Structure 1
Amino acid sequence: MDRISINKISQVIQRGATNPLQELAEVAGISIDSRTTQAGDLFFAIQGQRLDGHQFVSQALSRGAAACVVKRGAVTDSSSQVLLEVEDVNQALMQFAGWYREQQAAQVIGVTGSVGKTTTRSMIYTALSSCLSGIQSPANFNNEFGVPLSIAGMESSHQFAVLELAASHVGEIRELAEVVRPQVGVITGIGHSHLEHFGTLQQTAETKGALFEQLPTSGLAVICGDDPFADFLTSRTTARIVRVGLGENNDLQAVSIEQDQQGISFRVNDQQYLIPVVGQHFVNAALAAIAVSRELGISEYDVSESLRNYSTVPGRCHQMQIGEWAVIDDTYNASPDSMRAACQVLRDFAGTGKRIMVMGDMLELGPETKRYHREMGALVTESGVNHLFICGKLAESVSQGARSAGMSQNQITIAADVELLAQDVIDHLEPGDVVLVKGSRGMRMERLLQHLQQTVSVRETTGAKKISCV
């Protein structure tokens, strides 16, 4: 973040009061977590669902915070430090972010959608960063707290910023997009995520489509043209439109798609691309990156060279080797749409070992939850999975769907929790097997990866090896 005087910040967030002894002080960054606050930061004492930041003002100051934004009257002992008092700290954070965004000349790319946001955001950043200076949202900084922190990462020297926007309730994308004010908007598609809160796919589309509404007429809207809601979404913007996808109706169409051990390759126009990933769903993210890069003046050849160095984000179909097993870490989240993509990854995986799926519940799907889980069980079977390990409250629904599609009972293992499932998975695995692990964030499926890594570590230490009986 560019350095800003405390007086200027006080003016921006309104009704602030600075300590006259420190009128010339500046802040170098913003923080909402006292544990990671650095010297010179401006600490916002936000009020979340579980914690109130006012409890940690003293800790933030002890770590060198230059000032703290607090609710009026909430902190009485300032210890002669600078306090900026406001009526609503959370609102002040968004207000500051909106003002700071207006000070930046960088091209801002906003990315949203039901699935693939993080992958698309990181793919765009990879394509742009080889030729331009810029940033992307760190980790999952994509909500009312994360987006302001992402914006604060921008500096006057940056030429672009790729910012991820997420929503768990109606209207949230509009609120974030009004602060982000993107020149380029990317919507990855509309799917069955957070239906418990959105209610219908139409309502999901209306919420996500607010990103396109914020684009200027001179801006660019990038949409997956194969998505059923593509026409609806593009009708909500006056910006130029680029459709990307696999169908012939797209402006950028990927053809000759092939998956091998090097990664996934495809062709757009006369340019060949190779991305070192597993899964055809990465192609749409790459197409969005190509479209955005062209808008910012980068050639398709340069994009092609950049994407050869793309590295998947942990938790998002991230391939890794744990001992003698190929493991696909897709643990960050799950929905019916992303689960279909995961099944396709296992089906197309280039290997000779067994294909193992370890699946946790898909959460926040509303009244049709059991049906979605039965459908996923059937899809797993149709994808040629050799053994299905399931945990969670919806495990029996998944099992029913798998059995109805022809999977035998001895190919299915059920447990209440991933911790209880771990040893069964480990006992079943043999050298050369591929195991894909997926579930909603609340299921914490990454714990299985920890068990696999611990098992390999113990075996390497003791020299023990699994003996297969034939």
Structure 2
Amino acid sequence: MIFFYVILLLVGLILTKSSLFWVYLWQTKEYRLDRFWAEYGYPKKLGRFWLFSGGRKFHQPVQTIKSVLIHFISLVVVALGMFVLLKIFLGGALSNSWLLIISLIILYLLMPLIVSFNVLIFYIPTVIIKHIIYRLAAKKMRKIGSKERYNLIVIGITGSYGKSSAKEFLAQILEKKFNVIKTPENVNSEIGVAKFVLKNVNPSISSGHNEQRVFIVEMGAYKRGEIKRICDIVKPKIGIITGIGEQHLALFGSIENIKKAKFELIESLPVDGLAVFCGENKYCLELAEKHEKKKVVCGVSDANKYVSYTNLPKHYLSNIVAAAEVAKYLGMSDEEIKEAIKNIKLTERMTKTFTGRNGALVIDDTYSANPDGVLAALDYLARQKQKTKIIVMPCLIELGGAAEEVHHRIGKRIGEVCDLAIITTSDYFSIIKEEAGFVVSSSSRARSRDSSNQDKSVLVGSPSKAIEFLKDKLNPDTAVLLEGRLAQEIVDFMK
């Protein structure tokens, strides 16, 4: 009998772990079916998760009221299921015992559906609560905007990549002259911005203080209409589009939809507003041509006007120039802007370069990954003086129909720059391996397959395997690019 209860306890722990794993997956995708399906809707990946629920690793969602309730209700449903099964099959017969085991396995396999059903149950009340918060935030911003004495200018920043760095650069430049408020890290959705407005954007400044205030808002989206909703809340006067690419193409459906979504920021600007576009991005140039009001198109080619150093990834320079143009529009002099740029500091989430294990140069670009960002980081890696160059990265996600073409491009550039590519996910590994297996003639620039080059790309199934590959390759003559969301064990090992 004791053995039976031990088995029952183990089954309960396995089911609890499975529930936590599926709540964790839904939470990482903001409980959105479109995002969840875009990443996990592939039969192979979904099947693996369904059967093994995260494997040996324990995944715990961030504790919020919503995640706790979904997990609790899921466990209640499972407990009721186990109780019913015990009532039915606990008769002592061997056949009944086997039926009980089979039924518990079925209950385990049903856990993803149970958790997903509970997520859907919370959908309607979540939407209602969100719209109440949107209205309250918009009302507060209207009150602030209607009073000239509140002195608040709102700047919106959007793009497929580079939003966070552009926001940080702009804030560091403007705070030399203005009172700056900005949305914090990872806050760029409608609900995130609305909550921030309600909690942190106050309708008045210190008594007798006439300093101009600036509110910088990072704006993200996964479908059309979401940036417009943020703009309806905060009413931006200045808009920056940092760049447009294939990131989240699986959710938008087409590049054209991505362009239209980002352009919602520009369409929301007032007649006397300013639109700033990245001059290196062809889609931004197309949108700039479409915009008939006041605009600035700028990029790396304009960096010499403001920046005295160039040892930064290309997209950072572009964002610094965009921030400088906004500062100029707001009345800062060229000298003030240049001085502010000299003192710019890269934040924790930006690409960092440091001397790591065994003296190897480490480029940490693990905050996020997108096609243009990966290629820019590879360009940055190529500029380093070290002889041996290595990249560690997962395959990119949410790229829809462009995924294969994007990974062909990345693989090709890896073949040109790197001596070794350690890929941590299998989705498009074969494409990267194939493209990286070519070599480029320095004279004719023609590409040809080199049989000795075929093992430069390796697929690892765990952080420990990646570390094994890296161990004996790290020395002062090695540069390692850590790209995209990697396991923290790998990042810690490189320090």
TM-score of the superposition, structure 1-length normalised?
Answer: 0.70
1:147 aligns with 2:193: yes
SS at match of 2:190: coil
Given that residues 437 and 456 in structure 2 are in contact (C-alpha distance below 8 angstroms), is that contact kept between their aligned partners in structure 1?
A: no
Deviation digits for residues 206-244 of structure 1 (CA, Å, limit 9, x no counterpart) = 111000010000110001133222354235655411111
Match of 1:138, as an amino acid? P
Given that residues 217 and 238 in structure 1 are in contact (C-alpha distance below 8 angstroms), is that contact kept between their aligned partners in structure 2?
A: no
Deviation digits for residues 85-128 of structure 1 (CA, Å, limit 9, x no counterpart) = 99921112222221222233311110000111111111111110
1:449 aligns with 2:488: no
Given that residues 162 and 319 in structure 2 are in contact (C-alpha distance below 8 angstroms), is that contact kept between their aligned partners in structure 1?
A: yes
Distance 2:319 2:175 in 1: 16
1:225 aligns with 2:318: no
Deviation digits for residues 321-355 of structure 1 (CA, Å, limit 9, x no counterpart) = 32422211111222221111111110112x33422
* 1:429 alignment partner in structure 2: 474
Structure 2's unaligned 5+ residue stretches are 1-29, 33-60, 70-124, 145-150, 206-211, 440-448
Distance 2:127 2:364 in 1: 43
1:124 aligns with 2:170: yes
Of the three residues 454, 457, 461, the one matched with 1:412 is 457
- Residues 87, 364 of structure 1: alpha-carbon distance in 2 compared, 3 angstrom cutoff: closer
Of the three residues 360, 363, 373, the one matched with 2:394 is 360
Larger radius of gyration: 2
* 1:267 alignment partner in structure 2: 304
* 2:403 alignment partner in structure 1: 369
1:387 aligns with 2:420: yes
* 1:36 alignment partner in structure 2: none
Given that residues 353 and 431 in structure 1 are in contact (C-alpha distance below 8 angstroms), is that contact kept between their aligned partners in structure 2?
A: no
Considering only aligned residues, what root-mean-square deviation do their CA atoms show, in Å? 2.6
- Per-residue deviation at 1:138? 0.8
Of the three residues 234, 240, 249, the one matched with 1:195 is 249
Distance 1:168 1:417 in 2: 30
Distance 1:232 1:210 in 2: 14
Distance 1:52 1:435 in 2: 37
Deviation digits for residues 285-313 of structure 1 (CA, Å, limit 9, x no counterpart) = 01111111011111121111112222223
- Residues 221, 130 of structure 1: alpha-carbon distance in 2 compared, 3 angstrom cutoff: same
* 2:6 alignment partner in structure 1: none
Give the paired residue count: 355
Distance 1:185 1:52 in 2: 33
* 1:332 alignment partner in structure 2: 367
1:159 aligns with 2:213: yes
Of the three residues 180, 194, 217, the one matched with 2:234 is 180
Deviation digits for residues 399-427 of structure 1 (CA, Å, limit 9, x no counterpart) = 11101345713433221344431221233
Distance 1:217 1:434 in 2: 49
Match of 2:140, as an amino acid? Y
1:133 aligns with 2:179: yes
Match of 1:131, as an amino acid? K
Deviation digits for residues 13-63 of structure 1 (CA, Å, limit 9, x no counterpart) = xxxxxxxxxxxxxxxxxxxxxxxxxxxxxxxxxx95588736889xxxxxx
Given that residues 363 and 479 in structure 2 are in contact (C-alpha distance below 8 angstroms), is that contact kept between their aligned partners in structure 1?
A: yes
Given that residues 362 and 494 in structure 2 are in contact (C-alpha distance below 8 angstroms), is that contact kept between their aligned partners in structure 1?
A: no
TM-score of the superposition, structure 2-length normalised?
Answer: 0.66
Higher RCO structure, 1 or 2 (CA under 8 Å, sep 6+): 2
- Residues 54, 411 of structure 1: alpha-carbon distance in 2 compared, 3 angstrom cutoff: closer
Match of 2:425, as an amino acid? G
Distance 1:86 1:174 in 2: 20
Deviation digits for residues 147-189 of structure 1 (CA, Å, limit 9, x no counterpart) = 1233342333361011100111222111112112111000012
Report 1:21-100 matches (<5 A). 53=65, 88-100=128-140
Distance 1:288 1:164 in 2: 14
Given that residues 360 and 476 in structure 2 are in contact (C-alpha distance below 8 angstroms), is that contact kept between their aligned partners in structure 1?
A: yes
Given that residues 215 and 239 in structure 1 are in contact (C-alpha distance below 8 angstroms), is that contact kept between their aligned partners in structure 2?
A: no
Distance 1:190 1:274 in 2: 26
- Residues 418, 181 of structure 1: alpha-carbon distance in 2 compared, 3 angstrom cutoff: farther
Moved over 4 A (4+): 47-52, 54-57, 235-238
Of the three residues 341, 344, 349, the one matched with 1:310 is 344
Distance 2:409 2:422 in 1: 16
SS at match of 2:304: strand
Distance 1:381 1:333 in 2: 22
* 1:343 alignment partner in structure 2: 378
* 1:101 alignment partner in structure 2: 141
Q: Which has the higher helix share?
A: 2
Q: Which has the higher strand share?
A: 1
